[in-house]
Amino acid sequence: MFFYYSFKNINVSLKKIKNFSYIILKFSNYLFEILFYLNFYFNKSSFILKKIFFYVLNDLKNKKKFFLNYYIDSLIFSKGNLYKRFNYRAKGKTDIILKKFCNIFLIIKI
């Protein structure tokens, strides 16, 4: 039995969250232990990963009774970009800003 979760357009660059998640996944693949390790880090990537894993744990808790023995089977990252164009009417200039996003796909098994 497996569960599939996808999180799109997370406002963190792919490089930061990918490196940080590989450091965390070296310790363990079980969700409950990963949350224990995430409490020792205080940066933007850890905050976003905590929110994702808490969402997954709450969803599993509502679906199944025993949810502590689930582990991460695959964790896939992809990147997304968004170009924004700003016009300054008084000055006659335009700026193009590149925003980087990260997409996370998570498969959890028993």
Q: Give how far the C-alpha of residue 84 lies from the chain's centroid of Cα atoms, to the nearest Å.
A: 23
| pLDDT at residue 67 tops 70 | no
Angle at which helices 31-38 and 14-27 cross, to 10°: 110
Work out the mean pLDDT of the chain and round it to a whole number. Answer: 81
Pick one of 3.40.50.2300, 3.90.470.10, 3.65.10.10, 2.60.40.180 as the CATH number of 2-109: 3.90.470.10
Highest mean predicted confidence (pLDDT) among 27-36, 47-56, 88-97: 47-56
Domain boundaries, the chain: 2-109
pTM over 0.75: no
| pLDDT at residue 105 tops 80 | yes
The pLDDT of residue 65: 67
